[in-house]
Structure 1
Amino acid sequence: MALRLDLRSLIFACALLCCSSDLLAEGPWPQWQGPQRDAVSTEAGLIQEFPEGGPQRLWLFEDCGIGYSGPAIVENKLYILGAFEGTDHLLCLDATTGEQLWKSPLGSTFENDWGNGPRSTPTVDGDFMYVLTPTGTLYCLQTDDGSIVWQKEMQDLGGEIPVWGYSESPLVLGNTVFCTPGGEEGAIAAFDKISGDLLWQSKDYVDVAHYSSIMPMKHDGRTILVQLLYKELVGVDPENGGGLWSIPWNGNVAVIPTPIISHDTVYATSGYGAGCVLVRLSGNDAEVVYENKNMTNHHGGVILRDGHLFGYSDGKGWVCQDHETGKLVWREREALGKGAIAYADGRFYCLGEDEGELVLITASADGWEEHGRFTLEPQTELRKPKGKIWTHPVIANGKLYLRDQELLFCFDVKGE
C-alpha cells in the first residue's frame, strides 16, 4: 500500500512539473484572465490607436443571459455562462461570427440585489471544461456539446455560499482540478479531472470561501498553489493539500482579486481598506516585503508589467505602483472612473464600470497616456440598480470582447 501511494504521488508530481509555467492551458484565452491567469494577452500586431468612435464592432450577441461571467476562447469557440429564467446555462458561440452553436442547462441560479447569474469564467482543458456556478456546483462538461460528465457540490465539502455567490474560476493542472469550497473540512479541494473523485481537502486552512481564484506558482523546482482567502494568504502543496505557509490578511466584506506571481514573490490586494502586500518565499517560509494601501483593488484586477503594478485603487484612482518597493509611481483620478483592466501588445484596456467607457492607454510607468476611447452602445436594460459593468475585458485572436449582462460585444482590434 505504501509503495502504491508513493508511486501515485510521484506520477502526480511529474504531471504537475510537465505543466509549463509559460502556458497553463492551450488557446488564446482558455480560462479566467487568459493563458497564465494574469490578464495578459499574448496577442501582437494590434491597433495602437483607437479610431474616432472606437474600433469596428464585428458583432453583438444579444442573448447571453444574465450574469457577470467572462468568456473563455479556444479554437475559435467562445464559452460563457449566463442565467435564463432562473437557470444557469453554458453557451458556446462561434468566436468569429457570434453565432450560437449550443446552449446547455445547468442548475438553479443565484440571485441578489447586485445582479443574478454566474460570476466565474469557464476553464477549458482539451475535450472538457470546468465551471463553478454561484450556488456552488463544480461541473465537468464536454466542450463539443456541453453535456455534463460529472458534478460536485461545495456544500458536500463543508462549504457555504458566499454573500455574492461562488465566483472562483477553477484551476486545472495536469490531471487535477482545484477550487475553493471553504469551511472547516478544508478550504481548498482537489479533484481528479476525469472521474471527479475527491483527492484531498486542505485541512490546514479552514477559512471561508470568498471570491479569489487559485494561482499556480513554480518555486524551488516544484509547483505550489497560492490562494487569497478571507483572512489569510496561503501556499498549498498540490499533491496532498498540505499547508506550506500562511500570511495573515486583513480581509473585509469581500476579498476578490487573484494573487499575482512573479519569480519568488506573491502579491495580493483587496478592497474595503485591506490594501496590498508583497511576500517573498524562501523554501517553505514566507516573508512580508511590504504592506501598504497604495493599491486597494476591489475587483477590477491588477496587472504586473515591467516591474510595475497597474490597476484601480479605491480612493486613489488608476495607479502605477513599484512592484519591489510598493511605492506609488503615478495616479490618475480624472480620466476614468473605477473599472477593470486587461493587457495586450503594449496597451492596457481599461473598462469603466459606470458608463461602460473603454480607454486604451500606454502600458508605462511614465504616466497615463491615452490612445482613444469609446462607450459601449447599446447597454443592457436588465442590469439591477446596484449592478455595474463588472465583466473584465478579453483580447483574443485580434478581437476585443466585452460583456454587459445579456449583451456580448466583439470588436476588431487587429492592426493592418
Structure 2
Amino acid sequence: MRAMTGASSGPDVTLRLWGRRANRGSGGLPGEGRWFAIMWLVAACLCSASMLQGADEWPGWRGPNRDGKSPDTGLLKEWPEGGPPLLWEVNDIGKGFSSVAVSGGRVYITGDQNGRLYLFAFDLEGNQLWKVDVDAAWTRSHPGARATPTIDGDNLYLLSGNGLLVCCDAATGRLKWKRSAKQFGGRPGGWGYAESVLIYRNLAIFKPGGQRCIVALDKRSGKPLWASSGFSAGPEYSSCIAVEFARRSLIITGTREGLVCVDARSGRLQWLNNWSARNTANCPTPAYADGYVFWANGYGKGGVCVKLTASRRRVLGRQVWTTKDMVCHHGGYIIDKGYIYGNHNNGWSCLDLKTGRVMWNTRGVGKGSLCYADGMLYLFAERGGRAALATCSPRGLEIKGRVEVEGSGPSWAHPVVIGGRLYLRYDTNLYCFDVRAGRELTSR
C-alpha cells in the first residue's frame, strides 16, 4: 500500500533566505545581567512546550527526552511473518540521513533534491501537506540531509549541513527567523553540520564550534543569550542533551575535543573529558541516566562513561570506565534499567552502566541504529533495509520479527516508534508500519 505521494493538501510554500541579512552586530553575547536572571527564573517556573508533549509526540532527534526511548505502550511483542502491516510509504523525499519528527498530527522529515535542502510535512496518512526550501544542500562528503527537525509548540527548528539555523512555523513552514553558524565564528567539520537543535526551556541550543563552541539563542526571537566559555572545539556531529543533576541545569554534548558539559544558564564549562578527542569523527549523541554519562564513537575508539558529582561551585565529571565493546559509528545506544544497549561494530552489545561489564555481544541485524519502546528494541541495519524487533534484556538479544524496506547506500537514520507506528527512513523513502498489539495482523 502506497501513500498518495503526489497529493498535496496544502500550499507549496517556498522558504528561501528572505528578509534582512542577519546583523553581525547582533551576534554579540549579552552578559548575565539582572534581566537575564529574571528571564531564566520565569522560564524555570514554567514548563516548556517540549516538557508537555502528548503521548503521541516524538518532537525531534531521539524522542521527547533525547534518549531514544518512546513513551508508547500496548505494542506488539512479536511480528508476523513478513513484518508488521505497512500503512503507507513515500518514495520521493530526497536523499538524506535524517529521522522523522512527529508532532501535532504531522510527520516532518528533510531531504536533498536538485541541490537544495527541503523540509517536508505529511499528515498521519502519508499525504504531503507542504514542502519548503530551506538552504543549499550539503554537497561535499556524503551528500544528503542530516539534521532531524525539532518541534516546540508552534515552532520548528532545523540546522542545515552548511550551518544555517532556521525557525519556521510548524503548521506552514513559514520562516520566522534565521541565524548562521558563521555569525559565531563557526565552521563545519569535513562532513558538514549534522546536529539537531536542542530546545531547552527558553533556549535554542546548537554548536557552531570554535571559541564559542556552544551557543544558546532565545527560541522565540533568535537573539543570542550566551556562548560557551573555557574551551575551544570543533562542532563535530553529535547533538546536545539537557541534564538536571543536583539541582543544576546542564548541557552535555560531544565535540572534536571530547565530551563537554556546560552550565545551561551561562555556558560556563563544568568539565571536559578528552578520551575521544581528535577521533576520526565523533558522531553519536551522549546518553545520560542515574548520574552517569555514556558516549561511544566509531573508527575503533569505543565508549567512555563519566560519573557526575557536585561541588559547591560546579558539577564535576569523573571518568569511571572505558570500553572497546561498543564501537559505535552512527547508530547510537539507549540506557534501560542500568544497562546500555547499542551498536558495536557490525553487531550489538549490552553493557552494565556502572561498571562497563559486557553482558553480551551479538550480530542481530548487523551494524545499524536503534530505538526502544514498550520493553523492546527496534533495530535498523545500516545497509540492506533490514529492520528487526528484539528483546531488551541483559540476558541476551532475541529477534522477534523482521521486515525489509527498499533503498540504497548507507542508512544513518534512526527508527522511530510513536503513536503505535514504526517509521523507517531509508535513502529517499519513508515507511510507516502499524506495530500496535491487539489487532488482526496482515503483513504486506
Residue ranges of structure 1 left out of the alignment (5+ in a row): none
Shift of 1:11: 2.8
Distance 1:254 1:3 in 2: 33
Does the alignment pair 1:211 with 2:233? no
Match of 1:182 in 2: 209
1:163 to 177, 185, 190: 190
Aligned pair in 2 of structure 1 residues 25, 190: CA closer, same or farther (>3 Å)?
farther
- 2:33 is paired with a residue whose SS is helix
**Contact 2:150 2:196 survives alignment (8 Å):** yes
User: Separation in 2 of the partners of 1:395 and 1:61?
Assistant: 17
1:337-416 to structure 2, matched below 5 A, reads 337-376=366-405, 379-380=406-407, 383=408, 387-416=409-438
Change (3 A) 1:160 1:54: same
CA pair 260-79 structure 1, distance change in 2 beyond 3 A: same
Shift of 1:16: 3.8
Asked if the contact 1:28/1:41 (under 8 Å) is kept, the reply is no
Whole-Å separation in 2 of the counterparts to 1:94 and 1:119: 22
CA 1:311 to 1:21, structure 2 compared with 1: closer, same or farther past 3 Å?
farther
Structure 1 residue 109 displacement after superposition:
0.5
Percent identity, aligned pairs only, is: 37
1:250 aligns with 2:286: no
Judged with a 3 Å threshold, the aligned counterparts in structure 2 of structure 1 residues 25 and 216 are, in CA distance, closer, same or farther, namely: farther
Partner of 1:119: 146
Using the alignment, how far apart are the partners of 2:104 and 2:247 within structure 1? 32
Which residue of structure 2 aligns with residue 319 of structure 1?
349
Question: Aligned letter for 1:49?
Answer: E
- Report the CA distance between 1:13 and its aligned residue: 4.1
Deviation at 1:222, TM superposition (A): 2.3
Q: CA deviation at 1:6?
A: 2.3
**Alignment CA distance shift 1:212-1:5 (3 Å):** same
- Alignment coverage as a number of residue pairs: 403
Question: Residue 128 in 1 paired to residue 155 in 2?
Answer: yes
Aligned to 2:333: 302
Structure 2 equivalent of residue 101 of structure 1: 129
* Structure 1 residues 174 and 82: CA distance shift in structure 2, 3 A: same
Q: Quick one: distance in 2 between partners of 1:275 and 1:82?
A: 30
How far apart are 1:14 and its partner, in Å?
Answer: 4.5
Which AA in structure 2 matches 1:411? F
Cα deviation, residue 117, structure 1: 2.5
* More moved, 256-265 vs 145-154: 256-265
SS at match of 1:282: strand
Structure 1 Cα separation of the partners of residues 433 and 163 of structure 2: 33
SS of equivalent residue, structure 2 residue 284: coil
1:103 Cα deviation from its structure 2 partner = 0.7
Mapped contact 1:214–1:227 kept (Cα < 8 A): yes
User: 1:17–1:223: 8 Å Cα contact kept in structure 2?
Assistant: no
Conserved in 1, the CA contact under 8 Å of 2:141 and 2:191?
Answer: no
What letter is aligned with 1:98? G
Q: Which amino acid in 2 is paired with 1:12?
A: W
CA 1:330–1:22 in structure 2 vs 1: closer, same or farther (change >3 Å)?
A: farther
Check conservation: 1:24, 1:36, Cα contact below 8 A: no
> What is the CA–CA distance in structure 1 between the aligned matches of 2:373 and 2:245, rounded to whole Å?
27
8 Å CA contact retained: 2:98, 2:412? no
Q: 2:52, 2:241 → 1: CA distance? A: 10
1:326–1:206 CA distance, 2 compared to 1 (3 A):
same
- 1:174: how far off? 1.5
1:303–1:309 Cα contact (<8 Å) kept: yes
Of residues 285, 307, 322, the one that matches 1:291 is: 322
CA distance in 2, matches of 1:88, 1:309: 34
The 3 A distance-change label for structure 1 pair 173 and 227 is same
Q: 1:70 aligns with which of 76, 95, 99?
A: 99
CA distance in structure 1 between the aligned counterparts of 2:385 and 2:168, rounded to whole angstroms = 32
What's the TM-score, normalizing by structure 1? Answer: 0.93
Counterparts of 1:369 and 1:22, CA distance in 2: 34
CA contact (8 A) 2:298 2:345 kept: yes
Q: Could you tell which deviates more after superposition, 362-371 or 8-17?
A: 8-17
**What is the CA-CA distance between 1:286 and the residue it aligns to?**
1.5
Sort the Cα spacing of 1:104 and 1:329 in 2 relative to 1 into closer, same or farther, 3 A: same
Match runs of 1:218-297 below 5 Å = 218-251=244-277, 252-283=279-310, 284-297=315-328
In structure 2, the CA distance between the partners of 1:181 and 1:212, relative to structure 1 (3 Å rule), is same
Residue aligned with 1:244, SS: strand
Q: Is the 8 A contact 2:48 2:200 kept in 1?
A: no
**SS of residue in 2 equivalent to 1:88:** strand
Partner of 2:227: 201
Contact 2:365 2:387 in 1 (8 A): no
> Does the 8 Å contact 1:179/1:190 carry over to 2?
yes
Report the alpha carbon displacement of residue 20 of structure 1 after superposing the two structures with TM: 7.7
**CA separation of 1:21 and 1:263: change in aligned 2, threshold 3 A:** farther
* Change beyond 3 A, Cα 1:250–1:17: farther
Q: For 1:319 and 1:67, how far apart are their aligned partners in 2? A: 27
